[in-house]
């Protein structure tokens, strides 16, 4: 019997999608006194029964990775007439389910065969090893790798979210807000831009300190989030400057109502809280959102000059026809 070819075939059964069809043939090759030493700290089995139980527990974990064997190499050493050692390397490549990750494992292995009284060669011992510095106790290697991949993806998503968010208020930051507005403006028939500025904010910082000033900024963000939730975006443009953007609002009266709602929420805010000045301008598909925000800024400064704590609509504001 060519034990080298037989061993390589058994690895294909065990490591690839052929397992489901050939698990019986694989298990048939194992001796009842089997001892297995695997890659994890827990992977030490002293009987075929122990190993079978482990395979049952691994079933779901194994299904998360589709392996293929990139290469396999084996050598044979005759220890005695009835004992043969097959050893070599096994290069596995796999795809982790629901991730873009590719598993690339270069394993070393040894398989000890013993011929029983009936003349059948049975696997008495398997030793598999591969380097993995981050493997944790009680973990099967691909499971560990899946966890590492998913943790890395989660960190990447968190970092992406942090890059788009103003850290003090939780609103979209300057660049992310305007990028989102530009995209939505290109997809919408009608949109509304609101430029918002706190009135006399410097006096809050000078009189009560910057911690109280930060509280006012966070409260302002909450007011804007509540007013925009489900119908628009809110962003912190910088310092005490904020902005809001809405689509799906056709009537000028609806835009005015939102601006009035923001002012009312600000009046009910925890004291001390300065007033808000708001400039409003509307645009249509084909117009750049940045241009419409400039018109809203002009209205904002008119409010500042005429008494603050109010809103003003641009004369050419968009309304539905």
The number of C-alpha atoms within 13 Å of 147 and in the hemisphere containing its C-beta is: 10
Judge if 140 and 192 occupy the same domain: no
> What is d(CA 125, CA 46) in angstroms, rounded to the nearest whole number?
9
| Residue where a domain terminates, one of 141, 159, 177 | 159
For residue 142, what pLDDT band results from cuts at 50, 70 and 90?
A: low
Examine residue 82 and state whether it is found in any structural domain, yes or no: yes
Give helix then strand counts, H and E, for the chain: 9, 11
Are 298 and 262 within 8 A, CB to CB? no
Structure token digits, residue 35? 């001892």
Q: Beta partners for 197?
A: 241, 277
Look over the chain and give the mean of its residue pLDDT values, rounded to a whole number: 87
Structure token digits, residue 73? 């190499």
- Tens-digit pLDDT profile for residues 271-281: 999 999 999 99
Judge if 132 and 46 occupy the same domain: yes
> What is d(CA 149, CA 134) in angstroms, rounded to the nearest whole number?
12
The CATH number of whichever domain residue 62 belongs to comes to 3.10.450.50
Alpha helices, DSSP H, located in the chain: 3-15, 19-28, 48-63, 141-164, 174-187, 201-208, 210-228, 252-267, 289-305
Judge if 101 and 126 occupy the same domain: yes
Examine residue 319 and state whether it is found in any structural domain, yes or no: no
| Residue where a domain terminates, one of 101, 130, 159 | 159
The larger pLDDT score, comparing residue 295 to residue 59, is at 295
Looking at the structure of the chain, the number of domains it has is: 2
Instruction: Answer yes or no: is pLDDT of 96 > 90.
Output: no
- Tens-digit pLDDT profile for residues 166-178: 999 999 999 999 9
Judge if 265 and 304 occupy the same domain: yes
Judge if 24 and 109 occupy the same domain: yes
The CATH number of whichever domain residue 193 belongs to comes to 3.30.70.270
Judge if 171 and 39 occupy the same domain: no
- Tens-digit pLDDT profile for residues 37-78: 987 667 889 999 999 888 887 776 767 777 888 899 999 999
Judge if 131 and 23 occupy the same domain: yes
Q: What is the pLDDT of residue 320?
A: 39
Examine residue 265 and state whether it is found in any structural domain, yes or no: yes
Judge if 11 and 125 occupy the same domain: yes
Judge if 9 and 101 occupy the same domain: yes
What are the angstrom distances between the C-alpha of 197 and each of 1, 87, 187, 224, 278?
85, 73, 27, 12, 7
| 98 secondary structure, DSSP code | T
Structure token digits, residue 51? 């190993």
Structure token digits, residue 312? 């003003």
Domain that holds residue 171: 165-313
Examine residue 205 and state whether it is found in any structural domain, yes or no: yes
Examine residue 318 and state whether it is found in any structural domain, yes or no: no
> What is d(CA 259, CA 50) in angstroms, rounded to the nearest whole number?
69
Structure token digits, residue 288? 């750049």
Examine residue 219 and state whether it is found in any structural domain, yes or no: yes
For residue 133, what pLDDT band results from cuts at 50, 70 and 90?
A: very low
Judge if 132 and 7 occupy the same domain: yes
Examine residue 320 and state whether it is found in any structural domain, yes or no: no
| Residue where a domain terminates, one of 119, 140, 159 | 159
Structure token digits, residue 22? 């050939």
Q: What is the pTM of this model?
A: 0.54
The larger pLDDT score, comparing residue 18 to residue 84, is at 84
Examine residue 14 and state whether it is found in any structural domain, yes or no: yes
Are 174 and 238 within 8 A, CB to CB? yes
Judge if 176 and 309 occupy the same domain: yes
Q: What is the pLDDT of residue 132?
A: 54
Judge if 143 and 271 occupy the same domain: no
């Amino acid at each position: 019997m060519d034990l080298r070819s037989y061993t390589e075939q058994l690895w294909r059964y065990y490591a690839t999608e052929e397992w489901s069809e050939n698990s019986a043939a694989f298990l048939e090759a194992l001796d009842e006194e089997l001892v297995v030493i695997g890659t994890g700290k827990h992977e030490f089995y002293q009987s075929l029964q122990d190993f079978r139980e482990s395979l049952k527990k691994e079933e779901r974990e194994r299904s998360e990775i589709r392996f293929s064997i990139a290469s396999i190499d084996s050598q044979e050493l005759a220890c005695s007439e009835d004992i043969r050692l097959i050893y070599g390397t096994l290069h596995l490549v796999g795809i982790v389910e629901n991730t873009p990750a590719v598993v690339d494992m270069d394993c070393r292995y040894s398989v000890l065969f013993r011929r029983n009284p009936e003349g059948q060669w049975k696997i008495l011992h398997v030793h598999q090893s591969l380097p993995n510095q981050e493997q944790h106790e009680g973990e099967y290697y691909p499971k560990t790798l899946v966890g590492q991949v998913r943790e890395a993806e989660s960190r990447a998503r968190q970092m992406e979210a942090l890059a788009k968010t103003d850290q003090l208020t939780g609103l979209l930051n300057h660049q992310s807000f305007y990028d989102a507005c530009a995209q939505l403006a290109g997809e919408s028939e009608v949109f509304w831009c609101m430029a918002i500025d706190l009135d006399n904010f410097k006096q809050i910082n000078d009189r009560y300190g910057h911690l109280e000033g930060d509280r006012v900024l966070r409260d302002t963000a909450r007011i804007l989030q509540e007013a925009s939730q489900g119908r628009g975006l809110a962003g912190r443009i910088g310092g005490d400057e904020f902005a809001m953007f809405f689509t799906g609002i056709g009537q000028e009266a609806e835009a005015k109502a939102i601006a009035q709602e923001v002012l009312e929420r600000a009046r009910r805010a925890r004291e001390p809280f300065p007033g808000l000045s708001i400039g409003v301008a509307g645009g249509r598909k084909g117009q750049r959102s940045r241009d419409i925000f400039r018109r809203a800024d002009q209205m904002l400064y008119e409010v500042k000059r005429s008494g603050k704590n109010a809103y003003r609509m641009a004369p050419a504001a968009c309304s539905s026809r």
